[in-house]
C-alpha cells in the first residue's frame, strides 16, 4: 500500500515549535500492528490513523498511537488531525464543515474548526470526551524520586499530587517555582518502580505564572515519551481540575498553558472549563497548528 501522510506542529503558529504529529488521513487496510510500527517509524510522541466511522452520523474513527502503545484519547493528536482534515477539505470524500465528530476509544470527541476570512483553518478546539474524574493521590516521595526534585519543590498548598482524567489519566503536580520546573530530571528506573501499572503513570508538572496562566512539563517515559512539548489531554485534565478546586461553584474558568519551553519547542494551549452547581461539566482545549511535511508511506 502507498498511503498519504501529513505532519504538523500542533499548539503553535510557527513551524518547528509545538508538538509534532503524523496524520494518515486514510488508514483503511492497516492492521493494528502496522499502525504501531508506523508510529515507531515516525517516532513522534503520537501518530493518528483516520478510518471510516462506525456510525454514519459521525465523521471518522480516529486511532491514536504513542511509540509504546495505543491510547484511548489525546489532545494534540485530535487538534492536529482536525486541522489536517480541514486543510485537506474532506474526510475520505466527505466534505469537512466547521464541526468534526471523532469516534475514539474514550468516547466521542467533538472538534470545532475556526477559519479565517478565506475559509482556511486557523485553529481547532476539542471538547473532552469524558467528565472530570478525580482518582487517587500519589505519594509525593514517589513524584520526587521520578523527577529528581526535593520534597520542598512540590507545592501542596492547593492540592497534593493527584490523579485526574477527562479521558486519559495523568498525575497532576504543582511545583513551587519555575526553577524547580527547570530542574526536573526524569528517572526512568524510579518511574518503573513507582508508577508502572498505576493509573496516572504520566506526570504533568506545573507552576502558576498568573491568575489564569501556568507553565508545564509532561513526562511519560513508561510509554516511550520521556518528555512531551504539548499535551492537550493533560492540559484538559489540569484545566478541569483547577476549576473543580476553585472556590466559586459556577462559572467559566479559562487557563493558558505554556509547555515545551525547556525542550526548545514552545507551545501554547488554551483551555476552558465550564462549572455549575460545583460540578465541572465541560472542558475544552485548543490552539493553532502548522503543516510541515507531506508525502507517501509504503507499507
Catalytic entry in 41, 46, 103, 294 = 46
Task: Give the three-state DSSP class for 219.
Answer: strand
- The alpha carbon torsion through 62, 89, 77, 175 (nearest 10 deg) reads -140
Q: Beta strand pairing status for 99-104 and 94-95?
A: unpaired
46 is catalytic: yes
> What's the rounded Cα separation, in Å, for the pair 245 and 236?
14
Hey, how many other C-beta atoms are within 10 angstroms of the C-beta on 91? 24
What's the residue count for the chain?
299
Give the whole-angstrom CA distance, residue 119 versus residue 86: 10
Among candidate residues 120, 209, 136, the one with its CA nearest the CA of residue 170: 136
Three cell numbers written together for 16 = 518547528
Compute the 3-state secondary structure of the chain and give helix, strand, coil in percent, each to the nearest 5: 25, 45, 35
Strand 162-165 relative to strand 170-174: parallel, antiparallel, unpaired? antiparallel
Please list the active-site residues: 46
Amino acid at each position: 500500500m502507498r498511503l498519504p501522510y501529513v505532519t504538523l506542529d500542533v499548539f503553535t503558529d510557527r513551524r518547528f515549535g509545538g508538538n509534532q504529529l503524523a496524520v494518515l488521513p486514510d488508514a483503511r487496510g492497516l492492521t493494528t500492528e502496522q499502525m504501531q510500527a508506523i508510529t515507531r517509524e515516525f517516532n513522534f510522541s503520537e501518530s493518528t490513523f483516520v478510518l471510516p466511522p462506525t456510525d454514519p452520523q459521525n465523521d471518522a474513527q480516529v486511532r491514536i498511537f504513542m511509540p509504546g502503545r495505543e491510547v484511548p484519547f489525546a489532545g494534540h493528536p485530535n487538534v492536529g488531525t482536525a486541522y489536517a482534515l480541514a486543510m485537506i477539505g474532506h474526510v475520505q470524500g466527505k466534505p469537512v464543515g466547521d464541526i468534526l465528530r471523532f469516534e475514539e476509544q474514550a468516547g466521542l470527541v467533538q472538534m470545532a474548526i475556526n477559519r479565517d476570512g478565506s475559509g482556511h483553518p486557523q485553529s481547532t478546539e476539542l471538547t473532552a470526551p469524558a467528565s472530570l474524574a478525580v482518582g487517587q493521590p500519589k505519594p509525593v516521595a514517589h513524584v520526587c524520586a521520578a523527577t529528581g526534585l526535593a520534597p520542598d519543590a512540590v507545592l501542596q498548598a492547593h492540592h497534593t499530587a493527584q490523579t485526574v482524567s477527562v479521558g486519559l489519566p495523568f498525575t497532576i503536580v504543582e511545583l513551587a517555582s519555575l526553577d524547580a520546573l527547570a530542574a526536573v530530571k526524569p528517572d526512568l528506573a524510579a518511574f518503573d518502580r513507582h508508577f508502572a501499572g498505576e493509573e496516572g503513570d504520566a506526570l504533568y508538572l506545573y507552576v502558576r505564572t498568573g491568575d489564569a496562566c501556568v507553565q508545564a512539563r509532561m513526562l511519560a517515559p513508561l510509554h516511550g515519551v520521556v518528555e512531551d512539548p504539548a499535551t492537550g489531554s493533560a492540559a484538559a485534565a489540569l484545566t478541569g481540575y483547577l476549576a473543580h478546586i476553585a472556590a466559586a461553584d459556577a462559572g467559566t474558568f479559562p487557563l493558558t498553558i505554556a509547555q515545551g519551553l525547556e525542550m526548545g519547542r514552545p507551545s501554547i494551549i488554551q483551555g476552558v472549563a465550564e462549572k455549575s452547581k460545583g460540578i465541572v461539566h465541560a472542558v475544552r482545549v485548543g490552539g493553532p497548528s502548522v503543516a510541515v511535511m507531506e508525502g507517501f508511506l509504503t507499507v
